[in-house]
Structure 1
Amino acid sequence: MNKIRKGDQVVVLAGRDKGKRGTVSARIDADHVVVDGVNVVKKHVKPNPLKGTTGGVVDKTMPIHQSNIAIWNGATGKADRVGVKVQADGKKVRVFKSTGEEIKA
């Protein structure tokens, strides 16, 4: 079970964007996620007339390792860790470690 999923509000813990908050827009692999507005780099692209793209310098959001982000707990207003709790019916749910309340997806 992934502790950080697409659509989660997260805060950056390390790196040049430390302290920024954003929404997870995609999971690249088991360890990397793309967060909107975080880790934005300048990318030089060639023009491609077949695709109709013009060349130049564009801003691109690059993946960030999930160890450098934490889920945002709106109730406490802080970053929080994620735990997994098994309900009575055997279903696993994600919970905040500090408060124990379920994370709404």
Structure 2
Amino acid sequence: MSTVKIKKGDTVKVIAGKDNGKEGKVVLVDAKNGKVLVEGVNMITKHTKPSAGNQNGGIVQKEAPIDLSNVMYVHKGKTTRIGIQRTADDKRPGKTKAVRVAKSTGEVID
């Protein structure tokens, strides 16, 4: 599998599935299984038993992971693919570092 170009804290848009068109912030990235957890997307109801942490138990709404291929990075309000580019490292002369680049504009993301 290729490298995961979406990171925790990125804003993404769902491009496939029941939540198509929704936007949210990435809460968790599971690179091994190719899944992401996005705030307010793919909500499920979970029935919980009473426990020390949750005295009453009951029905809880929470996000479930969705496949990485079903989300797209949002850059300046528009969805775009992400590329990797090597640039000179200011802190280490003669060395390069990899940075993420928006394919649509060519701007460095981080």
- Alignment TM-score > 0.5, same fold: yes
Pair 1:79-2:79 in alignment: yes
**Residue segments in structure 2 that go unaligned for 5+ positions in a row:** 90-95
Summarize deviations over 1:57-93 as a string: whole Å, max 9, x none.
110111111100000011xx32110000001331000
Q: Residue in 2 aligned with 1:25? A: 27
Kindly tell me the number of residue pairs found equivalent between the two proteins: 101
Q: Residue in 2 aligned with 1:10? A: 12
Hey, what's the Cα distance between the residues in 2 that align with 1:68 and 1:16?
11
**Residue 23 of structure 2 aligns to which amino acid in structure 1?**
R
Give, in angstroms, the shift of residue 25 of structure 1. Answer: 0.9
Q: Residue in 1 aligned with 2:70? A: 68
Matched-pair identity in %: 47
- Is 2:4–2:31's contact at 8 Å kept on the other side of the alignment? no
Q: TM-score, normalised by structure 2?
A: 0.84
Q: Residue in 2 aligned with 1:47? A: 50
Give, in angstroms, the shift of residue 52 of structure 1. Answer: 4.1
Larger radius of gyration: 2
Partner SS, residue 86 of structure 1: strand
Give, in angstroms, the shift of residue 27 of structure 1. Answer: 1.5
**Residue segments in structure 1 that go unaligned for 5+ positions in a row:** none
**Residue 26 of structure 1 aligns to which amino acid in structure 2?**
L
CA RMSD of aligned residues (A): 1.4
